[in-house]
Amino acid sequence: MTAVAVVPAYGQCGGSGWTGETGCASGSSCISQNEWYSQCIPGAAAPSSTATTASSTRATTSTAKPSTTAAPSNTAAPPAGITTTLPASAGYTALPTASIITGSFDGHMVKFDRKGSSGDCEEQTETGEEDAVFILESGASISNVIIGKAQAEGIHCRGPCTVTNVWWEDVCEDAITIKQTGAGDVSTINGGGAFHAQDKIVQHNGAGLVKISNFFASDFGKFYRACGNCATSHERHVQVDNVCLKDGKEGTGINSNWGDTAILTNIKTSSKPSAANVCCAYEGVPKGSEPPKIGCGDSQSACQYSQSSVGTC
């Protein structure tokens, strides 16, 4: 008789991109956490359908027993398609140096950070690319990853990149930095979420367009900021659709004098930021100066949305 492998408690058992075992050990059931990740939860009722599976490359993880992560407190009703709680990790790896991705990387919900290395969190001290957890080369993609709190920089994209279902447990300096240089370059952030960003979640230092959708942001300074005083001035654009902004100061910040635009649809907030502060215009300035704020709200021509359409979450 051939033994049938089973997934231990708290292990991954399904989701888009999963090719491993789908049967859980006795006493656990495979429960969908979101489109990309299903997990064997002890004592949970069995789901009525089988999780979707697809081919992918398995990430290398530590041998430590996977552990669950307590979800941040949240009583808000999420917008459709958005998960508002941090998924449980399926393992943990502390990287001594930044991991450079040239193709596609599926982390299968393993938590990665830079604990104990030069890339560990230094609060709001300005750090650089070498302190990132992941560096994505032009055209690279990353999916199904939890970035732990022991890191100074989360992800740096050297060119157009695709980030899918990536979660930041606790943003230290910036969550993701976009450095693409072409006016026609496009980077996409779809799904996932970020918690506790004193400064920015998405820092757009390069050129082109950033598309952000189905994202949850909680406790942050700025959700997206087009750099207003980088060494090189670029025209930058952002499209944001179906996001929940909870307990933040400002949604998108753009530089209207450089031709930046923000197109916002299906935006929901907890009233922090306000409907007006969902989009703010700044005046871009040379490196070394501080960009002055021009104003916020749909009266700013660069902010393409309607304040009255901003919902609640």
Residue 66 pLDDT exceeds 70: no
How high is the pLDDT of residue 150? Answer: 95
Least confident of 52-66, 93-107, 187-201: 52-66
How high is the pLDDT of residue 53? Answer: 28
- Mean pLDDT throughout 19-48? 71
How high is the pLDDT of residue 258? Answer: 97
- Mean pLDDT throughout 258-271? 97
- Mean pLDDT throughout 261-279? 97
Q: How confident is the model over 201-231, as pLDDT tens digits?
A: 999 999 999 999 999 999 999 999 999 999 9
Residue 46 pLDDT exceeds 60: no
Indicate the domain borders of the chain: 1-56, 92-312
User: d(Cα 252, Cα 198) in Å, to the nearest integer?
Assistant: 15
Residue 178 pLDDT exceeds 70: yes
How high is the pLDDT of residue 2? Answer: 43
CB half-sphere exposure, 72, CA atoms < 13 A:
20
Least confident of 25-39, 107-121, 133-147, 233-247: 25-39
- Mean pLDDT throughout 256-280? 97
How high is the pLDDT of residue 49? Answer: 38
Q: How far is CA 10 from the centre of its chain?
A: 22
Mean pLDDT, the chain, integer: 85
- Mean pLDDT throughout 250-267? 98
Instruction: Assess if CATH 3.30.360.10 describes domain 92-312.
Output: no
More confident: 206 or 82: 206
Query: Which of the four pLDDT bands, split at 50, 70 and 90, describes residue 7?
Result: confident
- Mean pLDDT throughout 131-136? 96
pTM of the entire predicted model: 0.78
How high is the pLDDT of residue 44? Answer: 57
